[in-house]
Structure 1
Amino acid sequence: MRLTAVDRRAADLGLAPGMALASARAMVPAVKVMAANAPADLRLLEKIADWCDSFTPLVALDAPCGLLLDVTGASHLFDGEQAMLDRLRRALKKQGFAVAGALAGTALAARALARYRDGTVVPPGRDSEAVSTLPVEALDLDPVTVHAFRRAGLKTVGQVAGRRRAELTARFGSGMVFALDTALGRADLPISPRLPLPDYRAERRFAEPVTDEKTMLATLNLLAGRLGKNLEERGEGARALQAVFFRADGSIRRLAVQTGAPTREPALIERLFREKLDALADPLDPGFGFDLIRLEADRTEPCRDEAAALGSETVPQKEIRALVDRLTARFGAHRVLSFEPRDTHIPENAFAAVPAQYARAGRLGWEKMRSAGEAPCRPLRLLAPEPVSLIGGEAFRWRHVTHRIRKLEGPERIAMEWWRDAAPDRDYYRAEDENGRRFWLYREQGLHWFLHGVFA
């Protein structure tokens, strides 16, 4: 058993990660230990990464205890790079974390400086100079390679960089040389953000955290207007939007809504988020308030302006889409469904229930199976086929109830699709019992009877 992490007091006493537990207890008999929980540590690191999203959307995990942030083009929002780094470190320390950070031109250089020169901000083009004085351990190499450097008298990154590239490649491989060049700023390895970047985003920071829901909705309306202008310039509309609420204590809450058609109308977007807030089982708790609210358009599509006159066909269609969007925001997409026809004559496969937001007018239409004044040919309620018992050809028993047949019409043969299913053909009958109730029955292979639906 080995130590995976130590607090500041243990480090002052000479304990370090990787040390055997027996050795640690020999050095400090009163040491207190607890079992490591890597999954819980990862979840905590992901929560911190979510919070860091308020500084930049390009956040990558550097497990087990690090984060890499690409702040290119974002530092001016925080009064410069040094002010941004100091603000981030202070905020994390205020939340109870021990944190060290640095800012450099490459991720590996920033990681090395964070571990050995906390608080450093390297000017552009000065990575090599800043990293050269660090110990070789800053390159995060395997222990065998570090030991080999130490035996050769190469104790700093600058000393290693002074050796010939061919010599280092032959002895330690191209991977080590690339890591060295990256740390010195001669090469770059982009980070892989843990969350996909939204197509469009707008945000608002508050000097004082806000707690009023009315203010939050008004802010979303304002941000939707900003997004709408950007979308309009590119002829696009949002299909999926996400509101991110950053609480002052570091907690984050995300709310997502979708639309049935591309939109950039602030009033509609605000209404959808209002429905979402009203439907939350766990209400949005502002705590000490939200200091940042962000609106993201995660998915966009081309959008045409609908300059439809009053009374045209597009007006009711637009109203129906708006109703579907509001119902979906409140109840969920899986509860607001629409039926679409399918190109098959098998009754149970002739339609599909899809989320109404994604329903589209297809090439297929609903087949008209009866003329005016004719009785329905298909039942109003279709059931999964249930076996029934035929009694002397004059009655049938279904769900422990006997129904005497007064009228019977059929058969209507429906053949199964032999290229998909080897099921036998069916002979369908419309039957009416003595109480006027009508059923849809079919016979399979001339032996077994099933009830497939009821007309009323």
Structure 2
Amino acid sequence: MLWACVLLPQLALDGVMRRRENPEEPLALISGTAQRRVLQTVNPAARAIGLRAGQSLTAAHAMTREFATVEYDPDETERWHRLLAAWAYRFSSHVSLKYPRVLLMEVESSFGLFGPWPVFEARLRQELTELGFTHRIVAAPNPLAARMLANAHDGLAVTDGDTLHEVLAQMPVNRIGLPTEVATALARMGLHRVRQVEALPRDTLARRFPAAVLQHLDTLFGRRPMGLECYVPPDRFDTRIELNFDVESHQALLFPLKRMIADLAVFLAGRDSGVQRFVIHLEHVPSVGSVAPDTQIPVGLLSAEREANMLFELARGRLEQVEVPSPVRALRLQAKDLPAFVPTHRELFDDRPQQTMPWEQLRERLRARLGDEAVAGLGFNADHRPEHASLSASPNKPLALTHKVPRPGWLLPEPELLTEPGLRVLAGPERIESGWWDGGDVRRDYYLVETRNGQRGWAYRSVGDSNLLLHGWFA
């Protein structure tokens, strides 16, 4: 087996930065007590103006106030960790969150799908970079070795036991996960490298140190198996963004909404599912003496989808139809209906023009822009009378016309008297006699006609009547 360790050294900072519109703005995460606020971590722009992790907020403000601060939130960091686990689950069914800011993945069984390790690794790095997370990646024959090697390496791939032994032998004792007191005691004995510790007799180590030390070394070198609890993706998606300022316009909500939907798409791809319904909550600023209820914007689809751009377009269409009653303090997105995703059937050689889109995407965009009731499908009814031959149906699929004779795409609500001079008859008559059983008996002769402007229509004369009535237009 081959295990990959994805180390996320600044997970909390990356999680905050990817939700900010200006990544070049100096930013620091702060923590500590009210009496002593400390910079937990800083971004490169803040580092460039002299700020550093561990510095007190008072000292930082004495230098400059040209930086933003965000409260360090361990729970939010854990949510980012689990989102990336959902992303990694797309590539491997064995993903572990045993260590903080680390993803452990068994990758050898996935080579058949994603190619050999160099290709696989390049894809992981590309997607993590696109998601906005700094990372280091190491591969090794067992998960503990991969984790400890990531402390000192990036891009290292060890595929066999002999090479693993050589690489681990060069590691500093204080970088292989031993308790601090054990690493300190070994250093005092003059043992600074793992090879020096490995050269000692096992019974000597067993007498001087707890049994867990030998067990840790055996696991590190692959002589003892390591049990891991594997990640299982949840059955729902729930994320929230607290905005930096009160928002009163739709436009200012689009950037955080797009990022939330991108995270939803990552989650869906990881668990190989789609979304058929999700709800956007607009959390409002509480008014004096009362708490304003959330504005809920449901987004429903007729079939499961997971493409980020499409979901964002649908959500934006719904959002723009809502009047924001009061300033928005936070956004929340919840998705509970996550059915299996079935990709749209495509031909190997798709001859659609590049700017067109599949029917499913067009249908959902129209519903988002015009409303659910404004878009309907067309179904056939077993009746020869044109006004009864079609009916409103579900818009799940585009209509496939089965008539052998031409029928107009636009049928008028009521037939209109056609008096235009210069009318040409192109085809007809076609006799339609029907409706005797329900009192709506008709006897008509239909003609395909063309006006002087080139418009083609469908007109009829009732039997025994000389008036020509227009019943519909052809596209």
Shorter-chain TM-score category? 0.3 to 0.5
Structure having greater relative contact order (Cα 8 Å, sep ≥ 6): 2
